[in-house]
Amino acid sequence: MRSFPFGLAALCLLLLSLITGAYIAAHPTPKKTSTLTMWTFAKPHYEAYSKAVPAFEKANPGVKVDVQLVSYNATTQRLRAAFWADLDVPDLVEVEISAAGSFFRGSEKNIGFLDLTDRIQAENLDKRMVAARFGPYMSRGRIYGLPHDVHPVQLAYRRDIFEKEGVDVKQIETWDDFVRVGQQLTKRQGGQTRYMIELSDTSRDNLEVFLFQRGGGYFDAQGDVIFDNQAAVQAMMQYVPLVAGPDRIGNNLGGGQILTRAVEDGYLLCLLAPDWRTKSFENDIPKMKGKMALMPLPAIERGGPRTSTWGGTMLGITKKCQNPDLAWKFAKFLYLNEQDLAERFSGTNIIPPVRAVWDSPAFTRPSPYWSGQPLGKTYADLAPQVPLQYGSPFVQIAKDKLGQALVACVQRYNTQGKEGFEPFVQEQLKRSADQVRKMMARSPYQ
C-alpha cells in the first residue's frame, strides 16, 4: 500500500474492478437462443401461454419462443427506461391498461411499440373483436396493442341471503332500485353488522366502474382531460352517498382473509365482479360454492347499459423485434385461437374480445360455484355493452388525482351531508383535472 501512490481507497476500487471484471469474463451473459421472447406480468397468463407454446413451435419448425413471467414494474418503469435508453427489450410485451398510455408519449418515432393498425384492419380484427377495447391502446388514431380481454362488470351476491330476505334480483333494474333494497338489507346498529355492497371510500378503482358506466372517463379521443365533466360529477354524486354519511350501504375491509370472512359471515352481500375477479372468489372463498350468484350491474336509468369495465391488458410488439411478422403470427396464435381461448377461459374466467368464441361450450357450461349459472354466457351477453375508454401518457396521474378528489368529497359529505355538495364536487373535480392539464401543458413529450 505504501508503494501505491493514490491511497487505500483508490487501491480498493482497483482491486474490486479487477475482481468483478474477472468474474464477468468467466461468466458471460448467455447468448439468446430463442427466436421470440415475450414478457407477461400476470401469472395466469404465463401459465396459459406456456401450455400453448409447444403447439406454436411444432407448427413453425425451428422457432423457439421464450415466455417469461416478470414483475409489473419490469413491464412499466423498466421497459420505458429501456425504450428511452435504446437497450435490449423483448419482442412482445403484455402491458396493464393503466400503464399502457405511458408508452405513447411523444411522436410516433418515440413510441417503442410497433403500429399495428394496418395489420389489424387488414384482417378485420377491429370487427372480429370488441371494438371498444382498442381505445385504451390507441394514440393519435393509431393502434399499438391487441386487447387481451373485455372485463365486463357484474355484481356477485349472496344468493342464499337474498332469497332468505325475500329479495328478487329481477326487480333490481336501476341503481335507485339497488339502493332501496340496500337500505333494507344493510344493518349498521345492533345485532350482526351487514352492508349491501363492498365499496371503498378512498380508492378510485370502484369509482371508475361508476364513471365508465355513465360514459365518462379520464380523457377523450383527442387526449383532453374530461374527468371533471358532467358525467364525472354525476358519478361522484352517485358514488359518495353509497360509502359516506349515515345512510351508506357500502363498506370495504380490504382483500385477503378479511374479505373471505366478510363474505362468509354475510358482512358484505354484494361485490363488484369483473370477469377476472370471479376466479379469485372461487379460489379464495370456496365455502360459498352454490351460495353465490351474479346479476348485471343496475342501470343508471331504466333501459340503460347494465355493465361497466374494470382492468385490462394489451399485447404489443416492440420495434426492437427482429421478425415482426413472426411476432404478429404468435400474437394472433395466443389471442385468436378459439380452442385455446375456450380452454383458457376455464382456468381464468376471463372473456376474450373475440366474439366468435363466445358460443363455445366452455362459455355456456353451468357453474356449480355460481348457483348453476352459465358464467361465461352471463359475461359474454354484456361484453358488447362495455364502455369505450381512452388512454393517455398521463392516465396514471389522472387516476391518482381522481382518488384525491374522492377522499375530499367523502370527508365533506361525512361532515356536512348533501347541503351544497354538488358545487363542492364540481370544484374538487375541476381542481384535480386542472392539475393534470397543467402537467400536460408543461410536458414537451405528449
Q: Quick: pLDDT tens for 244-283.
A: 999 999 999 888 899 999 999 999 999 999 999 999 999 9
H or E, element range at 268:
strand 268-274
Q: What is the pLDDT of residue 326?
A: 98
Q: What is the CATH number of the domain that holds 61?
A: 3.40.190.10
> Which residue among 336, 360, 380 closes a domain?
380
Predicted confidence at residue 306, as pLDDT, reads 97
Residues 295 and 339 occupy one common structural domain: no
303 with 240, same domain: the answer is yes
Within this chain, do residues 301 and 415 fall inside the same structural domain, yes or no? yes
pLDDT at 88: 83
Boundaries of domain holding 83: 36-147+311-380
Residue 15 lies in a domain: no
Report pLDDT for 363. 95
Which residues of the chain are modeled with pLDDT < 70?
1-4, 6-7, 23-32, 190, 444-446
Q: Are residues 344 and 417 both part of a single domain? A: no
- Look at residues 338, 329, 332, 397 and name the one whose alpha carbon lies nearest to residue 363: 338
Give the alpha-carbon dihedral of 39, 43, 49, 50, to 10 degrees: 100
Residue 362, all three cell numbers = 366452455
| 9 within some domain | no
Does one domain contain both 108 and 202?
A: no
Residue 4 lies in a domain: no
Q: Give yes or no: residues 272 and 373 share one domain.
A: no
Phi-psi domain of 331 (left: phi exceeds 0; alpha: psi -120 through 50; beta: other)? alpha
Q: Are residue 290 and residue 329 in the same domain, yes or no?
A: no
Based on its alpha-carbon atoms, the radius of gyration of the chain, rounded to whole angstroms, reads 25
Number of structural domains (the chain) is 2
The residue out of 380, 399, 424 marking a domain boundary is: 380
- Residue 287 domain flag: yes
| Any domain includes 21 | no
The set of long-range contacts for 176-180, using a CB threshold of 8 Å and a minimum separation of 24, is 176/298, 177/298, 178/298, 179/242, 179/249
Domain co-membership, 57 together with 137: yes
Domain boundary among 380, 406, 422: 380
Closest by Cα among 206, 267, 119, 271 to 410: 206
How high is the pLDDT of residue 31?
Answer: 55
- Is 114 inside any structural domain? yes
**According to the model, what pLDDT value does residue 180 have?**
97
| Residue 110 shares a structural domain with residue 181 | no
* Same domain flag for 112 and 243: no
174 is a domain residue: yes
Q: Is residue 61 part of a domain?
A: yes
